[in-house]
Amino acid sequence: MEPSPPVVFVRRHPVGGYEKTAQAHREGTLHKMLEVTGQAEGPSYDLIVIGGGSGGLAASKEAAKLGKKVMVLDFVVPTPLGTKWGLGGTCVNVGCIPKKLMHQTALLGQAIRDAPKFGWNLNEKAIKHSWDTMTEAVQNYIGSLNWGYRVSLRENSVTYENAYAEFVGPHKIKATNNKGVVKFYIAERFLIATGERPRYLGIPGDKEYCITSDDLFSLPYCPGKTLVVGASYVALECAGFLAGLGLDVTVMVRSILLRGFDQDMANKVGEYMEEHGIKFIRKYVPSKIEQIKQGTPGLLRVTAHSTEDSGVFKGEYNTVLLAIGRDACTRKIGLEKVGVKINEKTGKIPVNDEEQTNVPYIYAIGDVLEDKLELTPVAIQAGRLLVQRLYGGGKTKCDYVNVPTTVFTPMEYGACGYSEEKAIEKFGEKNIEVYHSYFWPLEWTVPSRDNNKCYAKIICSIPEKERVIGFHVLAPNAGEITQGFAAAIKCGMTKKVLDSTIGIHPVCAEIFTTLSVTKRSRANILQSGC
């Protein structure tokens, strides 16, 4: 005779959810109970993931591997210009992947300019860039990734629906596809991984005439003379590769560059871009965008006002790219119906150190989290670790501090750990030592360009035997350099360990094994050779 299933007592949660209180409760009984009592109106799952980006996909597959019944709901709301894309989220479709490929396109342009100094005979009249060829190649690759994600979900027995998800009640969700067909599902737990979308200015003409990064990577024409509005990493990366393709590019900055990053490094990034032909208009914000000529790309007139005085700027551009920040996709998914709290100003979701919202059965990862890093690998790591804790007996929590990242501006900027400003704030200026130096990549010596532009800096905690708490580098291939050092930093690397490490000669990363000058000393760090 089979044993009776455990009894599950359910009471109303103060915010409208259900709270499980039975001692005998086991995984999966809640959704079965809802089906039996007629509250389901649709199939039930152990976990429903809302959002098919990198974090959501990683979490869903991890849960399925642990034997759970999982669904992913993903829907891309088209941009004001009608741009949309396939499964995979921002990173794959309109973020990291196309950005890095277009950055590489610009680097190839620089390599072509350097080549004659190394003996390559090039017919410069025959060298020109084709926007159409580049975007077609990039979009073909992205399309292959979209298909691969769908196949991977199927192979892992994860149910996928291209439908817009909204909470409608406790443990219950409504999914609407692009044809307006509505279905309802219930789940034991939910994971919000909806990410963010670009912000608009809220001025006349912004949505009608401007583009964002959501539109740029599949733009069917070369953008021509471009105004990039914003100073985020998205703004500077896009401005960098567009200028690298030979376009006339201007960046309009409201306040500071790369807010949240080390400002010493951010200013060096800006200086390098300016020295290489990218114009900057500082302390101005657009107030009106007008179309003065139709076409692809057409012509736009931008009116902007100073943030410091009564100054007015007017300029004409073929394309205006808005990169002023991103908003969390949390306000239109029914969170208020189940009582999930959000930051009303930002839309971000506060969570505890296990990515749990104030509603116990609802979790969140990725860019929607309040006060967390907005990076694809962070979302992936957080999603996998969360699922391992929920279903696999795991204990490890995501580390949101020692996270390596790279800004793919013309001079790449890699960082891990604390910025100088944050280190001073947390540890105190007297308790940190900053070692730094300029350097000259060997590859740049023959073309004789950009000496004393690459820069290395580490921040050390003096009371902890100079443990490295911040790592920063401006250099070609900065991401490749930073990735390796990030592992060492997680292992507690000290300045003494760095000094005892033999460098690989002649590479850029070698500079970190020979740093000897402190910022405090104000000694000269300019280099005369590699």
Residue 362 sits in a domain of what CATH number?
A: 3.50.50.60
DSSP string, 432-465: EEEEEEEE--GGGTTTT--TT-EEEEEEEEGGGT
What CA–CA distance (Å, rounded) separates 342 from 168? 17
| 8 phi, psi to nearest 5 deg | -120, 120
Is the pLDDT at 23 greater than 50, yes or no? no
Is residue 170, in this structure, part of any structural domain at all? yes
172 & 238 share domain: no
pLDDT-based confidence at 530, cuts 50/70/90? low
End-to-end Cα, the chain, rounded Å: 80
> Each residue of 53-90: b (16+ CB within 10 Å) or e?
bbbbbbbbbbbbbbebbbbbbbbbeebeeebebbbbbb
Q: What is the pLDDT of residue 476?
A: 98
Cα within 13 Å of Cα(70), Cβ side = 27
- Residue 472 is among the residues annotated as catalytic for this protein: no
Number of domains in the chain: 3
Is 250:315 a contact under the CB 8 Å cutoff?
yes
Q: What is the pLDDT of residue 43?
A: 87
Supply the pTM of this predicted model: 0.91
Q: What is the pLDDT of residue 30?
A: 58
Q: What range does the domain containing 355 cover?
A: 10-75+162-197+327-391
What CA–CA distance (Å, rounded) separates 51 from 60? 10
Q: What is the pLDDT of residue 35?
A: 52
Is the pLDDT at 29 greater than 60, yes or no? no
Q: What is the pLDDT of residue 173?
A: 98
Of 391, 423, 438, the last residue of a domain is 391
Q: Write the CATH number for 507.
A: 3.30.390.30
Of 360, 391, 422, the last residue of a domain is 391
Is residue 132, in this structure, part of any structural domain at all? no
Is 338:16 a contact under the CB 8 Å cutoff?
yes
What CA–CA distance (Å, rounded) separates 387 from 405? 24
Across 119-123, 401-405, 454-458, least confident range: 119-123
Is 313:284 a contact under the CB 8 Å cutoff?
yes
379 & 411 share domain: no
Mean pLDDT of 449-475: 97
What CA–CA distance (Å, rounded) separates 21 from 12? 11
pLDDT-based confidence at 21, cuts 50/70/90? very low
pLDDT-based confidence at 13, cuts 50/70/90? very low
317 & 331 share domain: no
Is 70:44 a contact under the CB 8 Å cutoff?
no
> pLDDT per residue over 91-118, tens digit each?
999 999 999 999 999 999 999 999 999 9
Mean pLDDT of 339-360: 97
Average pLDDT, the chain: 93
> pLDDT per residue over 484-512, tens digit each?
999 999 999 999 999 999 999 999 999 99
437 & 467 share domain: yes
212 & 286 share domain: yes
Is residue 95, in this structure, part of any structural domain at all? no
Is residue 340, in this structure, part of any structural domain at all? yes
Mean pLDDT of 230-255: 98
Is residue 315, in this structure, part of any structural domain at all? yes
What CA–CA distance (Å, rounded) separates 216 from 237? 12
> pLDDT per residue over 191-222, tens digit each?
999 999 999 999 999 999 999 999 999 999 99
Mean pLDDT of 48-74: 98
Indicate the SS3 state at residue 72: strand
Q: What is the pLDDT of residue 466?
A: 98
pLDDT-based confidence at 527, cuts 50/70/90? confident
342 & 431 share domain: no
Q: Residue type at 280?
A: F
171 & 39 share domain: yes
pLDDT-based confidence at 337, cuts 50/70/90? very high
Mean pLDDT of 473-483: 98
Indicate the SS3 state at residue 252: strand
Q: Closest by alpha carbon to 407, among 462, 466, 472?
A: 472
Please report which helix (H) or strand (E) contains residue 326, including its range. strand 326-328
What CA–CA distance (Å, rounded) separates 386 from 503? 38
Is residue 518, in this structure, part of any structural domain at all? no
470 & 366 share domain: no
Residues forming beta bridges with residue 194, ordered by sequence position: none
Tokens representing 530? 């590699």
238 & 296 share domain: yes
Q: What is the pLDDT of residue 26?
A: 38
347 & 449 share domain: no
Is the pLDDT at 124 greater than 80, yes or no? no
Q: Closest by alpha carbon to 368, among 89, 2, 33?
A: 89
Is residue 418, in this structure, part of any structural domain at all? yes
DSSP class of 221: S
Q: Residue type at 14?
A: P
> pLDDT per residue over 276-291, tens digit each?
999 999 999 999 999 9
Q: What is the pLDDT of residue 367?
A: 97
Q: What is the pLDDT of residue 127?
A: 87
224 & 319 share domain: yes
Q: Which of 103, 276, 305, 505 is catalytic?
A: 505
% the chain with pLDDT above 70: 92
- Angle separating helix axes 263-275 and 420-427, nearest 10 degrees: 170
DSSP class of 3: P
| Alpha-carbon dihedral sign for residues 429, 430, 431, 435 | positive
Is the pLDDT at 24 greater than 50, yes or no? no
Of 341, 360, 391, the last residue of a domain is 391
What CA–CA distance (Å, rounded) separates 506 from 349? 46
Is residue 342, in this structure, part of any structural domain at all? yes
Could you tell me where the DSSP H helices lie in 80-130?
89-94, 96-114
What CA–CA distance (Å, rounded) separates 25 from 9? 9
DSSP string, 359-402: STTEEE-GGGBTTS---HHHHHHHHHHHHHHHHS-------SSS
Residues forming beta bridges with residue 291, ordered by sequence position: 300
63 & 169 share domain: yes
